[in-house]
Amino acid sequence: MTHGADPAPVPADTPPSGDGAAPWWRRGLVYQVYIRSFADANGDGTGDVNGLRSKLPYLRDLGVDALWINPWYKSPLADGGYDVADYRAIESRYGDLADAEALITEAHDHGIRIIADVVPNHSSVEHAWFSEAVASAPGSPARARYHIRDGRGPGGTLPPTNWQSVFGGPAWHRLPDGQWYLHLFAPEQPDLNWTNPEVQSEFEAVLRFWLDRHIDGFRVDVAHGLVKDPAYPDLDNATTRMLASSKLPNHAHWDRDGIHEIVRRWRAVLDGYDGDRMMVAEAWVSPERLPLYLRPDEYHQSFNFDLLEASWDAGEMHDIIDSATKAAANVGSTPTWVLSNHDVMRATTRYGLPNGTDWRSWPATGPHEVLDVARGARRARAAALLLLALPGSAYIYQGEELGLPEAWDLPESVLDDPVWERSGHTMRGRDGCRVPLPWSPGGPSNGFGSDAGWLPQPAGWDRLSAEAQTGDPTSSLELFRSAIALRRVHGAVDEQLDWITADDSTLAFRRGSGLTCVVNYGPEPVPLPEHGEILLASGPQAGADRLAPDTAVWLR
Ligand code: GLC
C-alpha cells in the first residue's frame, strides 16, 4: 500500500476506542478545537459554536473520540479567551448557552464526547469579582479573592516580588489606590487566591454547572500554577518560561504541593457523576513530578509536553516515550501525547527548523532561510504516525490533520497575542498557529466563513483546505483518516508497547495487537523488518524493503 491510501476497513462491530473494559479517555483520540478559528457560521470573521456544529460530521468521519474546546466563555479575549469574565456564559461572539447545549447533544449523537477548558488560575479583569475587588478597600474580603498586596520600597512603589509574567514584564500591576495585584500572565488576567474557600467553592460550582450540562471532561489550564507561597519570596532566578521555572524545586508559584488537595476535591465532584467524566491537566512540570498529578484520586491524565519539546532525534524520543509510558503505568494512568496545540509552533514548521532551534523565538532570532519546508512536512507526517501508534491517548490540534504550517510571517499589524506587546515586540507570539482553518478553496477565507477571518490565511491555503485534500491519497488529511481508522482497530485495543529497535536513527516498536511502527530519523534509508504487511506509510518508501529518511511506516 502507498502512503495515505485505503485503510483496512473498520469491521462494523469494532467498538470505538475506549468502549469495553477501559474508560474511553485512556486510549481516546481527542481533537482540539480553537473555536475562534475553527468555522464561522455567522460570517463575522470569528469562529463560533454553530460553525463547530456544522462540522460535526467531518469530525465524526475523521474518527475522533472527543473534542477539547478552548475557552468559550464570556471574555474580552485579551488572551484568546483565557481571560474569563463569566464561567457560566458563552462569549457572545461564539454564540450562547443554548448553542453550546445543542452542540453537546449533537456531538453525543455522533458518538463524540466534549471536554471543556476550565481556567482556574486567573479570571479576567472584567469578571464581577475583580471589579468588586478594585472598588473595595485594601484588606476587604473582595480583595482576598485575588493576590492583592502592598508594594515595597518608599511609598510601596515597587512590586511586592520580583516575579515575572509568562508573557514578559513584571507579574504585578498597580491599582489606582497603590496596592498591586498578581498576574502570572497578562495584566488582564489577575491570579485568583486558591487559599480562599470562596474561590474553591465557586469553582466546584462551575464544574457542576457544566457537568450538569453533560460535559464529559475538563482540560485544566495552568494546573501547576494555582498555589502560591504565602510568604511571597523573591525568586533567585525569575524567568518567564513556564517549563524551565516549574522544573525548579519548591518554586514560589509553580507546582506547589498544595495543588493536590484542590485537585482531589475536584476529582470527588467528577466521581459523583455518571459516565466516565475526566480531567486532563495542563501541567508544565518535570517528568519526576508529573505522576503526582495522576494519582488515582487526582487527574485522569496530564499532557506530556516532553515529546513536543523534543528534537527530531530517535534517542531523545525513545527515552521520553519509554519513561512517560512507565511513569503513567506506575500510577495506573496512560500517557497523553501531543505534538501541536494553540500555544506552540505547528509541527510542520517546527520540524522544518534545524534541531536545537529555539522555535519559540524564531524567526525573530534566526534567519528565515534555515526553514526547510519540505523536510518539515515529511517529518510532521512521520511524527503523526508515531503519535497515533503510541499507547495511551493522543490529542491533535485543529489543522494538524491538514498538515497546516505555522503562519510565521503574519503582518505585524494583525498580531493579537499579548506576547507580542509584552515582549516589547521581540516575540511574535502564538497567532501563527491560530489562523482560521481553510475548509474549501476560494472566497475570502477558503470556506472558514463568508467573510475574511480575524487573522489572514497565508497564500496557498486553498490547496490545504479539507475539501482540496479529500480523496487525494497523498494528502495529509487522508493520511490522518487512514491512520485514525487503523488506530481504532490495531492501536487503541490495548496499552502494550514493546521496543524492537532504538538506535541512533531508528525507532521501532510493536503494540499488543501486532501493529509495528518504524520511524527513520536518519539521513539514509534503513531496512524494514523482513516480515510484515505494510498497512500505512507517511511517505514514499525507498524501495520495497527500505524506509526512506524522515519517514514512518506501520506494519502488521
Ligand atoms: C495556558 C493556555 C494559554 C494561555 C495561558 C494562560 O497555557 O494554554 O493559551 O495563554 O494558559 O491562561
Distance (Å, whole) CA 186 – CA 194: 19
Q: How far is the CA of 509 from the centre of ligand 1 (A)?
A: 34
Residue 544 has what pLDDT? 82
Domains 128-182 and 496-555 equal at CATH topology level: no
Q: How far is the CA of 525 from the centre of ligand 1 (A)?
A: 40
Residue 288 has what pLDDT? 83
> Whose CA is closest to atom 9 on ligand 1?
343
Q: How far is the CA of 222 from the centre of ligand 1 (A)?
A: 7
Question: What residues pair up with 217 in beta bridges, in sequence order?
Answer: 115, 278
Burial class from Cβ neighbours inside 10 Å (0-12, 13-18, 19+) for residue 197 reads exposed
Q: How far is the CA of 428 from the centre of ligand 1 (A)?
A: 16
- The answer to whether 508 and 497 have CB atoms below 8 angstroms apart is no
For residue 257, count other CB atoms closer than 10 A to its CB. Answer: 10
Q: Treating both helix axes as pointing N-terminal to C-terminal, what angle do 259-271 and 197-212 enclose, rounded to 10 degrees? A: 30
Distance (Å, whole) CA 204 – CA 198: 10
Question: Which of 231-240, 334-343, 472-481, 482-491 has the weakest average pLDDT?
Answer: 231-240
Residue 13 has what pLDDT? 34
Question: What's the CATH fold of domain 496-555?
Answer: Immunoglobulin-like (2.60.40)
Residue 185, ligand 1, Cβ within 6 A: yes
Residue 221, ligand 1, Cβ within 6 A: yes
With b meaning 16 or more CB within 10 Å and e meaning fewer, what string describes 500-516? Answer: eebeebbbbbbbeeebb
* Ligand 1 atom having least distance to the Cα of 122: 12
Single out the residue of 167, 214, 190 nearest to residue 360, CA to CA. Answer: 167
> Whose CA is closest to atom 3 on ligand 1?
343
Backbone angles phi, psi at 59, to 5 degrees: -70, -35
pLDDT tens digits, residue range 539-548?
A: 998 888 999 9
Q: Which sign does the torsion angle of CA 17, 21, 24, 25 carry?
A: negative
Three-class DSSP category at 170: strand
pLDDT tens digits, residue range 329-383?
A: 988 889 999 999 999 999 999 999 999 999 988 887 778 999 999 999 999 999 9
Using DSSP bridges, classify how beta strands 534-537 and 551-555 pair: parallel, antiparallel or unpaired. Answer: antiparallel
Q: Give the max Cα distance, the chain.
A: 77
pLDDT tens digits, residue range 23-53?
A: 999 999 999 999 999 999 999 999 999 999 9
Q: Which residue has the cell 490540534?
A: 397
pLDDT tens digits, residue range 107-143?
A: 999 999 999 999 999 999 999 999 999 999 999 999 9
Residue 242 has what pLDDT? 63
CB-based contacts of 470, cutoff 8 Å, min separation 6? 477, 478
* Ligand 1 atom having least distance to the Cα of 82: 12
Residue 444 has what pLDDT? 97
Residue 55 has what pLDDT? 98
Q: Which sign does the torsion angle of CA 376, 379, 343, 447 carry?
A: positive
Residue 165 has what pLDDT? 94
Mutation to probe ligand 1, out of 342, 343, 344 (largest number of atoms < 8 A from CB): 343
- The answer to whether 28 and 426 have CB atoms below 8 angstroms apart is no
Residue 20 has pLDDT above 60, yes or no: no
Task: Give the mean model confidence (pLDDT) for residues 279-292.
Answer: 91
* Ligand 1 atom having least distance to the Cα of 341: 8
Mutation to probe ligand 1, out of 185, 224, 241, 344 (largest number of atoms < 8 A from CB): 185
Amino acid letter, residue 542: A
Residue 367 has what pLDDT? 86
Residue 248 has what pLDDT? 67
Residue 431, ligand 1, Cβ within 6 A: no
* Ligand 1 atom having least distance to the Cα of 430: 9
Residue 15 has pLDDT above 50, yes or no: no
Enter the pTM of the model: 0.95
Given pLDDT bands bounded at 50, 70 and 90, which one contains residue 314? Answer: very high
Q: Which sign does the torsion angle of CA 114, 115, 120, 126 carry?
A: negative
Q: What DSSP state is assigned to residue 134?
A: H
Length of the chain: 556
Q: Is the link from the previous residue into 529 a cis peptide, with omega within 30 of 0?
A: no
Which amino acids are annotated catalytic?
221, 282
pLDDT tens digits, residue range 421-449?
A: 999 998 899 999 999 999 999 999 999 99
Residue 260 has pLDDT above 90, yes or no: yes
pLDDT tens digits, residue range 157-215?
A: 999 999 999 999 999 999 999 999 999 999 999 999 999 999 999 999 999 999 999 99
Three-state secondary structure of 292-360: HHHCCCCCCEEEECHHHHCCCCHHHHHHHHHHHHHHHHHCCCCCEEECCCCCCCCHHHHCCCCCCCCCC
Q: Which sign does the torsion angle of CA 18, 380, 345, 43 carry?
A: negative
Q: How far is the CA of 473 from the centre of ligand 1 (A)?
A: 36
pLDDT tens digits, residue range 454-465?
A: 999 999 999 999
Given pLDDT bands bounded at 50, 70 and 90, which one contains residue 239? Answer: low
Domain ranges of the chain: 24-123+197-487, 128-182, 496-555
Single out the residue of 296, 222, 291, 228 nearest to residue 264, CA to CA. Answer: 296
Mean confidence (pLDDT) of the chain: 93
Residue 14 has pLDDT above 70, yes or no: no
Q: How far is the CA of 21 from the centre of ligand 1 (A)?
A: 34
Mutation to probe ligand 1, out of 189, 191, 221, 342 (largest number of atoms < 8 A from CB): 221
Instruction: For domain 128-182, give its CATH number from 2.30.110.10, 1.20.210.10, 3.40.50.620, 3.90.400.10.
Output: 3.90.400.10
Residue 10 has pLDDT above 70, yes or no: no
CB-based contacts of 421, cutoff 8 Å, min separation 6? none
Residue 12 has what pLDDT? 32
Using DSSP bridges, classify how beta strands 66-69 and 148-149 pair: parallel, antiparallel or unpaired. Answer: unpaired
Burial class from Cβ neighbours inside 10 Å (0-12, 13-18, 19+) for residue 316 reads middle
Q: Which CATH architecture has domain 24-123+197-487?
A: Alpha-Beta Barrel (3.20)
Task: Give the mean model confidence (pLDDT) for residues 61-68.
Answer: 98
* Assigned C-alpha cell, 159: 512590586
